[in-house]
Amino acid sequence: MISNHDANASIHQPDSYLNHIPAHVALIMDGNGRWAIKKGLDRSQGHAHGASKLREIVTKFGEYGVKYVTLYAFSTENWARPQNEVENILEILLTSINSELETLHQQGVKIIHLGDKTTLPEEISHAIAKSEQLTENNSKITLSVAFSYGGRSEIIQAIKNMVSEGIEAENVDEKTFERYLTTYGIPDPDIIVRTAGEMRLSNFLIWQSAYSEYYFTDVLWPDFGDEDVELVIKTFSSRNRRYGKS
């Protein structure tokens, strides 16, 4: 975890960090509800404000040269939340797609959905498919949205698909297995960022994060801004990634 002291110090590093930019940043966007409660608002307003930050943050990472951003928007476990909260989140997702899609497309953003589409309402599933189809040839930055996603269920589904295709055990290696993951074709995250002070993965990209760096911050997601993006970049630049080597 990066401490507040380390964060304050790291922002004064020279701009040489621009030579060491993560290709893939993954974000666990936590704290929408707590942000709303602190301000005396309904939790739904926290989710709405958090959603309104997405294009700003993705754009800012893109300005630094990050080529892949993955957002953990809704986990398989989140379906167990109160029904009215789930319905509100689904409505915000649909509104965000409809209002932001054309702008993201014009900015060269390629959109990919990670997760179980079969659990989604038809209207949302259709909107996601439309966004993927419209942006499939864009290449400036790839935005993967993990919605109704769980790392364990992704692994189980990959195994089921391999078995159904008759893959023999002796032919299974890491590269073969990765072809059956929803993230196939996307590099593993270089750094995983989690907001709101929580320090766990919560079933997010558990295969893909084997050698990822981690960045935990107390900042609530709706308050996450340009300076926080800069700190993520600078923190990554200070890490020595050995991949198990001495």
Residue 42: how many CB atoms within 10 A of its CB?
Answer: 14
- Look-up of token digits 């909107």: 127
Q: What is the CA radius of gyration of the chain?
A: 18
| Cα-based torsion angle of the residue sequence 118, 124, 126, 127 in order, rounded to the nearest 10 degrees | -140
- Contact of 162 with 177, CB cutoff 8 Å: yes
CB-count exposure of residue 5 (10 Å: 0-12, 13-18, 19+):
exposed
Say how far residue 51 (Cα) sits from the centre of its chain.
Answer: 13
Measured CA to CA, the distance from residue 211 to residue 149 in angstroms comes to 20
Is there a catalytic annotation at residue 30?
Answer: yes
Residue 83: how many CB atoms within 10 A of its CB?
Answer: 8
Residues written for the chain: 246
Choice among 78, 116, 188, 218 that is catalytic: 78
CA angle 213, 216, 222 (to 5 degrees): 125
Choice among 30, 32, 88, 228 that is catalytic: 30
Three-state DSSP at 43 gives helix
Task: Compute the 3-state secondary structure of the chain and give helix, strand, coil in percent, each to the nearest 5.
Answer: 50, 15, 35
Is there a catalytic annotation at residue 15?
Answer: no
CB-count exposure of residue 168 (10 Å: 0-12, 13-18, 19+):
exposed
**Which residues are known catalytic residues?**
30, 78
